[in-house]
Amino acid sequence: MSIDVRPAQDFDRFLATDQLVWFGEETDSDAEHVRLGLPEDQRFAADLPDGPTDTHSGVYGVRPMEMSLPGGRVVPIAGLTWVGVHPDCRRRGVLTAMMTDHLARTHDAGLAVSALHASEAAIYGRYGYGNAVLTLQVELGRGTTFTAPHLEDDAARTTTHLVTMSGPGVTERMRACQLGSAPDHPGTIVGSPDYFSLMALEAPEQLRDKERRRVLLARRDGRDVGFVGLRREHKWSKARPSGTVTVGTLCGDPAARLALARRVVDLDLMGTTRLENLGVDDPVLDWVGGPRGTGSLETWDSTWVRLVDLAHAWSLRTYEDDCDVVVELADRFAPWNAGRWRLACSGGTGTATRTDSPADLSLDVDVLGAGYLGRGIGSRLRAGLVQEHRPGAYAELARAMRTLVAPEPSIGF
């Protein structure tokens, strides 16, 4: 069946599809969300021959974003988002047609990587995305103590200031902080200025009884060194204040994060602080003495990464160990990647070249996406997800790709 995928021309139809798929309350600000969320030329629509005419059969969009890689390079990526298929059209190949279109367009645009947050874990592996980053949600009680003796001097010189995200200049300062800390925190994804404006856009009907998004900015020596977004919720229990403050990504250098973390566990009228987006090696866990120093800890998948152009992507990051392996790569949706590659890393630098030598390993491209930001992928051999033809070859590859500290989760996009 032919499915027509093309740039979306009809804004109302695109919006109607989105509203149907995501079934929230329809508000006047929905259109503004699409406008700020997706550049006009990055909205795409798919139609089945017998599909609906008031909506599309499916839509997707791409956010231009930047991502930091092991070694510190910050590179442009395609941030896949707004993916939705009309409920009457599901399981007829619309998503597959849109993904094929997206990967071809991304490749043509010269981008090496596509990344996303998945609504469900089972959807994107088949298209070559690997789960590259895990996130932790950690609850801490009021007044939790953080121990970090070698950060105290810098933390003492750091001040924190509560502002409103939609206030003048705030999102620009947040974005500058994120770009500044990204090289030291591989996996950080930085959105465009419009993406930050979108985060700050909160129509009255979306707020209802919520407070506006606030931001704590950290400053040292006269400049911004970090931030965290937060929102407080009132709760009273047996006449005692026991609200919850929900905290987004902590951003900044280690001492800034420490100062911010201390401030968010010491807000008046709050009983619990929920940190929603920590990396699995986040220092918060060390500062509280491990998982049992928290009130609760849960984990799930954050960023999924897809190597759209293997050779280009391989050369962009650095590696912490040497390797020299020949990989038979399966890639159904980006056939230009498929086939035999020699993946070599030496002195931190990686090169991927075509070869006819016998393969040491056979694997799917999602495995390389999963390890691209430094998350350990060594267990996949035991899990039976890769095939090794030369003993030790997979360990060599996995060691080279892994980083000392697990990658940073990204803010949902």
Ligand X SMILES: CC(C)(COP(=O)(O)OP(=O)(O)OC[C@H]1O[C@@H](n2cnc3c(N)ncnc32)[C@H](O)[C@@H]1OP(=O)(O)O)[C@@H](O)C(=O)NCCC(=O)NCCS
In the complex with ligand X, which residue's Cβ is closer, 61 or 350?
61
Question: Binding of ligand X at residue 118 (CB under 6 A)?
Answer: yes
Question: Binding of ligand X at residue 84 (CB under 6 A)?
Answer: yes
Kindly state the smallest distance separating residue 105's Cβ from ligand X, in Å.
17
The pair phi, psi for residue 385, each rounded to 5°, is: -100, -10
Question: Binding of ligand X at residue 52 (CB under 6 A)?
Answer: no
Name 392's Cβ contacts closer than 8 Å, sequence gap at least 6. none
Question: Binding of ligand X at residue 83 (CB under 6 A)?
Answer: yes
Residue 307 identity: L
Residue from 50, 88, 119, 387 binding ligand X (CB under 6 A): 119
Kindly state the smallest distance separating residue 21's Cβ from ligand X, in Å.
5
Of the residues 14, 44, 124, 333, which is catalytic? 124
Kindly state the smallest distance separating residue 98's Cβ from ligand X, in Å.
8
In the complex with ligand X, which residue's Cβ is closer, 23 or 222?
23
In the complex with ligand X, which residue's Cβ is closer, 282 or 331?
331
Question: Binding of ligand X at residue 123 (CB under 6 A)?
Answer: yes
Taking CB under 6 A as the criterion, which residues in 142-201 touch ligand X? none
First to last CA, the chain: 31
Stretch that binds ligand X, among 5-13, 115-123, 219-227, 267-275 (CB under 6 A): 115-123
Question: Binding of ligand X at residue 258 (CB under 6 A)?
Answer: no
Stretch that binds ligand X, among 121-129, 148-156, 281-289, 393-401 (CB under 6 A): 121-129
Question: Binding of ligand X at residue 411 (CB under 6 A)?
Answer: no
- Asked if residue 130 lies in contact with residue 370, where contact means CB atoms within 8 angstroms, the answer is yes
Which residue in the shown chain puts its C-beta closest to ligand X? 95
The verdict on whether 44 is a catalytic residue reads no
Kindly state the smallest distance separating residue 225's Cβ from ligand X, in Å.
33
The verdict on whether 124 is a catalytic residue reads yes
In the complex with ligand X, which residue's Cβ is closer, 46 or 325?
46
Query: Site residues (CB under 6 A) for ligand X?
Result: 21, 83-85, 90-96, 118-120, 122-123, 126
For the annotated catalytic residues, the residue numbers are 124, 413
